[in-house]
Amino acid sequence: MKVSSPPPPGSVICAMVVDKRHVAAAVKSLEMAMKHRTSAAPPEHPIQVEGNQDAQYFSGGETLCQGVTVPYERPKVGSTYTTILFVHRYRQHPLLIVITLQSPDGQILGRGSFEVLVSCIPGSDQMRDEEQALEGGHFVERHQKQLIEKVSGMDIILPRLLRFVLNDDDYRRIRTEQTDAGMMAKLLELMPGWGKAQKDELYRELIATNGPLIRALKEEEEESRLQVYEAHASPFINYELREYLVEGHQEELIRCAVGVDVVVEFLESHAVITFHQMQDIRGTSQQQMQKLYELMPNWTVSQKLQMHDILSKTNRRLITQLQGGHFVDRHREELIERVTEVPLNQLRGSALDEEQYETLLKCATEKMQMQALFEMVQKWNRPQKDQLYRALAETNPDVVKVLEAGTLTDQQGVSPSKWREEALVLAALQLDVLSFSPSF
């Protein structure tokens, strides 16, 4: 909390835990609760202060609001802030932490709040243990085998590690090897004696010299983590999976989300975006979603979860579909049957190398091309699948629109003209603005 001028002597900082189901009642009970503060924290009090003997605790309205106050202290000479350590005790329902600066007579001089996100997923400890086992330490430790086999340019990497990571003797010993693989193997033999800073330095040099390899390894890890999360899926909220659905399905959410005006207003009202940012988000739903994703790199995990939750209310069917995986994975069979123009030229040189491109050209029919293409897709990462999705939307828009709407069931024998007719109907129903203003 930042103040523009010192508050009156005797002012206090109050941290209050509020049950989000009873916010109005909690606010009403606050004034009375503040009159009955005690210096000793009750055993089950949900928020406590460490290292401050002047803390006073209160509860009000059958624990609808519980909190603690500490005297306001000016920062010490040479410092720009004072640190207060609040410790929150676990509760299994939605909570809001409200921080206020109050004058001696109870006047509110400043206020801020944030939501507490507590995972209550059964088996979360097991899931965390499995994830730690999956990670196996630092990135360069987890991928030693792949780094030895695939890293190139060791002649460039080693001099950059001299002094900070390697001493002269280690450097000369490694340079006696004749191949990149041999030098990398010798280098990684030294890693048990390194700290995190040395491992980070190697990681940075690998990104600079072997960027595509490092990105591919991180994509593989992302897929493995998602499998861990899905293995422990439950009716309870899975925060990691909600965040993945927002970040991992950017292409489809931009193309298919509707009612984005409501989404934008919700995000502004919950301080995910500013009022000025909201004013800049205009146009169709696709354009608005594109602008939201341009802002997303600066968001916290909590803000991304809010994005997921409002989309779950305004685009419930779409979010449910996304839980089934990437668009091209969910609709593999339908795409093989229905695509009439295989977008080989759009994929050539990026998702497809020249050898793969020539192999697909030799297939006798479009269906055979799609079957062979999907054999390759099984090994693709998300950006490559995104590229195929965009290319199919460009070359086979009618097919993609029907699949995006989730209406395809058993359409064997349906003519292309019938597909175009259904796609036009769906487009007409794809309203940009919802006709209601939901209450959250």
Residue-wise pLDDT tens digits, 169-227: 999 999 999 999 999 999 999 999 888 888 888 988 898 889 889 888 877 765 665 45
Which pLDDT does position 129 carry in this prediction?
A: 41
101 residue type, one letter: L
pTM: 0.41
Burial label, 103 (beta-carbon count in 10 A; 0-12, 13-18, 19+) = middle
CA distances for 24 relative to 8, 29, 65, 234, 243, angstroms: 28, 9, 10, 31, 30
Along the 440 residues of the chain, how does pLDDT read in single tens digits?
677 788 888 898 888 877 655 666 666 666 666 666 777 766 566 777 766 778 888 776 544 567 888 898 888 776 677 777 776 654 444 567 788 888 888 788 887 776 664 443 333 344 344 444 444 578 898 899 999 999 999 999 999 898 788 999 999 999 999 999 999 999 999 999 888 888 888 988 898 889 889 888 877 765 665 455 444 443 334 556 676 778 888 889 998 888 898 899 888 888 889 888 998 998 888 899 999 999 998 888 878 888 888 888 888 888 888 877 889 888 888 899 899 999 999 999 888 999 999 999 999 999 999 999 999 988 888 889 999 999 999 999 988 888 887 643 333 444 445 544 544 444 444 333 333 333 33
> CA quadruple 166, 169, 175, 181: dihedral positive or negative?
negative
Comparing CA positions, the residue from 252, 239, 214, 422 lying closest to residue 338 is 422
Predicted local distance difference test score (pLDDT) of residue 427: 43
pLDDT tens sequence across 388-402: 999 999 999 988 888
For position 81, what pLDDT does the model report? 72
The pLDDT, as a whole number, for residue 434 is 34
